[in-house]
Amino acid sequence: MSKGTELRSVLETVGVVIGSLVGAIILIVFATTKYEPSESPDKIVGEKKPSIENIAPVAEVKVMKDSTSDTKSAISGEKIAQANCAMCHASGLMNAPKIGDEGQWGPRIAQGKDMLVSNAINGIRTMPAKGGNTSLTDEEVAAAVIFMANASGGSI
């Protein structure tokens, strides 16, 4: 190999290395700098601004107020009594006073609304607390007691 070809090979290698370094630096500079156009964004062709339809939420959640806390009329004592109390109070099971029997309910109604509701919530004799349905609220139990007492000649 001659000295000319050897020198030429070294120069080519040095040129490739220096060219690669310069190219890499240029790529890094372009990749890390942010392009800021001199014109306003409105005049840039092809770029769209996000519209309200594109960024609007897909759905909304609406929370309703608890209707039982505002009015007692929203609680149906009749429905609660039919679903929870009628098993014993419709047939007189375990000496439960039958709904509509004024003779059985009279002495209980005479004790007053607060006593009736308290006994129904806490339980009395063979009746378990809340009639055995602990998922009922105190207001629901009170509504059922008032319905049964009123259906049995009371007016509480």
pLDDT tens, residue by residue, 116-153 = 899 899 988 888 888 888 888 999 999 999 989 898 88
Rank 21-30, 74-83, 96-105 by mean pLDDT and report only the highest.
21-30
- In the chain, the percentage of residues whose pLDDT exceeds 90 is 18
Q: Are residues 81 and 144 in the same domain?
A: yes
**pTM of the predicted protein model:** 0.51
**Residue 25 located in a structural domain:** yes
**Residue 156 located in a structural domain:** no
**Residue 50 located in a structural domain:** no
**Residue 16 located in a structural domain:** yes
* Containing structural domain, residue 32: 1-36
Burial letters 56-79, b for 16+ CB under 10 A, else e: eeeeeeeeeeeeeeeeeeebebee
Q: Are residues 82 and 29 in the same domain?
A: no
Q: Provide the pLDDT for residue 20.
A: 96
* Number of compact structural domains in the chain: 2
